[in-house]
Amino acid sequence: MEYFSKALNMTRSASFYGLLALVAAFQCGPAAQAAQGPAPKNPPAKLNVQDTPINRDGKAPISFAPVAKKVGPSVVNIYSTMTIRERRNPMFNDPFFRHFFGEQFGDDQPREHKSQSLGSGVIVSPDGYILTANHVVEDAESVKVALSTGEKEFDARVIGTDPPTDVAVLKIETKKPLPALVIADSDKLEVGDVVLAVGNPFGVGQTLTKGIVSALSRSGFGINGYENFIQTDAAINPGNSGGALVDTEGRLVGINTAILSRSGGFQGVGLAVPANMARYVMDRLISSGKVTRGYLGINIQALTPELAKEFKLPDESSGVLVGGIAANSAAVKAGLHEGDVITDFNGKKISDPSGLQLAVAQTPPGTKVTLQVLHTETGGRTSEKTVTATLAELPQEALASRGRNSPNEGGQQNMDALDGVEVSDIDSQARRQFDIPRNIQGALVVNVDSGSTSTEAGLRPGDVIVEINRQPVRRADDAVALSQTAKGDRVLLRVWGRSGGGPGGTHYVVVENSKHK
d(CA 357, CA 391): 13
d(CA 109, CA 92): 10
Roughly how many angstroms between the first and final C-alpha of the chain, as a whole number?
28
d(CA 427, CA 445): 13
Backbone angles phi, psi at 23, to 5 degrees: -105, 10
d(CA 407, CA 502): 17
Catalytic residue among 80, 117, 120, 135: 135
- Mark whether 318 is an active-site residue: no
- Mark whether 166 is an active-site residue: yes
Of 506, 426, 425, residue with least CA distance to 458? 506
Q: Hey, is 210 helix, strand or coil? A: strand
Catalytic residue among 80, 125, 148, 166: 166
Q: Hey, is 391 helix, strand or coil? A: coil
Q: Largest alpha-carbon pair distance within the chain?
A: 79
Q: How many residues does the chain have?
A: 517
Catalytic residue among 13, 74, 241, 424: 241
Residue partners of 510: CB distance under 8 A and separation at least 6? 304, 306, 307, 310, 457, 490, 491, 492, 493
Indicate the DSSP class of residue 408.
Answer: P
Of 305, 306, 316, residue with least CA distance to 493? 306
- Mark whether 427 is an active-site residue: no
Of 213, 74, 221, 60, residue with least CA distance to 148? 74
Q: Hey, is 49 helix, strand or coil? A: strand
Catalytic residues: 135, 166, 241
